[in-house]
A and B are shown apart, each in its own frame.
Chain A
Amino acid sequence: QVQLQESGPGLVKPSQTLSLTCTVSGGSISSGSYYWSWIRQPAGKGLEWIGRIYSSGSTNYNPSLKSRVTISVDTSKNQFSLKLSSVTAADTAVYYCARGARIAVAGTNGYYFDYWGQGTLVTVSS
């Protein structure tokens, strides 16, 4: 059973960089054609996809956050990480890491997140 666990500071000052790590257990981050994503959710609001990384290091980011986001992977530690720079109060949210995959049915692709971490609350405040 794959498990994901987020870790990192719960409080970040405005204008600083938010840094989180997701540790994957129960399977190798390098196995299969999976991708590894960060997703966030402000209190009382919906889910927002931040970005993804493959074990090869290839990344894609949400266009609205792209200028501030860096996702990296450390296959030796079975971890991937998120850095979000120049944070403001609007970046206060529960941050989730998740495993993503693709399914093809009748010539059409679908993408999904099948394993999620429990989430970690990051508050941006001085």
Chain B
Amino acid sequence: SSELTQDPAVSVALGQTVRVTCQGDSLRVYYASWYQQKPGQAPVLVINGKNNRPSGIPDRFSGSGSGNTASLTITGAQAEDEADYYCNSRDSRGNHFVFGTGTKVTVL
């Protein structure tokens, strides 16, 4: 099956902007969805579709994509944004899904 690759870790200064990327062949065919996971908690959907934020997700979270890469951008990162972030997409070669390897975002 396809793979979705993410940088293991990124850091951002408080109030600055950080981009988390996700690469994979399936992203040429399907949009990615993005999930935030804090320690000991279930993942929370933050972006779906082209750039849709579910109710309750701050507008500092945004999504974009080009070619085989999807991106999650946090504009004006807050301390509470420190978490692991995972992308997810349907596999372009079948009726199944794959998660990205995950990125740990640290807010300095």
Size class of the contact patch on chain A? 20 to 34
Nearest CB in chain A: distance from B32 CB, A: 7
Question: For chain B, which range describes its interface: under 10, 10 to 19, 20 to 34, or 35 or more residues?
Answer: 20 to 34
Question: Cβ of B33 and Cβ of A110 under 8 Å apart?
Answer: yes
| Structural contact, A105 and B102, CB atoms closer than 8 A | no
DSSP majority for the A interface?
A: strand
Task: Report A92-126 CB contacts with B as 1/0, cut-off 8 Å.
Answer: 00001000100101101111111011110000000
**In-complex Cβ contact of A96 among B1, B42, B52, B95 (8 A):** B42
B44 to chain A, nearest CB (A): 8
**Are B86 and A47 in contact, CB atoms less than 8 angstroms apart?**
yes
Can you report 17 A-B residue pairs in the complex whose CB atoms are below 8 A from each other? A47-B43, A60-B96, A62-B96, A96-B42, A100-B97, A103-B31, A103-B48, A105-B31, A105-B49, A105-B50, A108-B50, A110-B48, A111-B88, A112-B49, A113-B35, A113-B45, A119-B42
